[in-house]
Amino acid sequence: MRVFSRRVLRFAVPALAILAALPVLAWTSAFERLTLQPESRLWIEGTSTMRSFSCKATEVDATVEGAPDAVAQVTAGEKGVSSVRVRVEAAKLECGNGTMNEHMRKAIKLSEHKSIEFQLSDYAVTRNADGVAGTLNGTLSLGGVSKTIALPATGRNEGGALRVTGSHPLKMTEYGLKPPTLMFGRIKVGETVTVKYDLLLKN
């Protein structure tokens, strides 16, 4: 009787493990990655005592996962996306001026913190006449400081792809960053910059 019990357990334990894993495997296979298209843009606009400026991210690394029909779901006002992580190498911020690049990279503590990252925690989306609108809640990590933020966003279906646009004002001092100064302090950058994004995603 004891031998029979051991044989039953020998086959039952692996079988139970497989059965327990099936829901996880089914959930994992139900999601796939959305691809960020080359025409996507992310940039920062700011002001100074002399003139306004713009710094663009020459490369954006985005990991977006969702349902196989995520684009259709989101543009219908449903939650078709399950996770979002957007990462920009700080060295890839280009302000169009070597001196400004140097001061901006120093201001965001590039030597200590190599990247700027946003991680989605949850979001709300509603359908409207122009597409969809919503709020992306998550954590922004900048200059070694991580803070929760809420990003307003709009979305629409564009040729089968999901275009997501939005902007968010950001105070550099809230992240322990000192706005750059140039020309021995005669030119001062305003402490508030605006992060803007125009991202195109395909299933």
CATH topology of domain 32-202: Lipocalin (2.40.128)
The predicted structure's pLDDT at residue 13? 45
- Condensed to tens digits (0 to 9), the pLDDT of residues 138-162 reads 999 999 999 999 999 999 999 999 9
Question: Out of 39-43, 118-122, 182-186, which region has the weakest mean confidence (pLDDT)?
Answer: 182-186
What is the 3 state secondary structure string of the chain?
A: CHHHHHHHHHHHHHHHHHHHHHHHHHHHHCCEEEEECCCCEEEEEECECCCCEEEEECCCEEEEEECCCHHHHHHCCCCCEEEEEEEEEHHHEECCCHHHHHHHHHHCCCCCCCEEEEEEEEEEEEEECCEEEEEEEEEEEECCEEEEEEEEEEEEEECCEEEEEEEEEEEHHHHCCCCCEECCCCEEECCEEEEEEEEEEEC
**What is the structure's pLDDT at 50?**
86
Query: pTM of the predicted model, to two decimals?
Result: 0.81
Q: Please state, for a pLDDT cut of 90, what percent of the chain lies above it.
A: 73
Task: Report pLDDT digits (tens) over 29-67.
Answer: 467 899 999 999 999 999 988 889 999 999 999 999 999
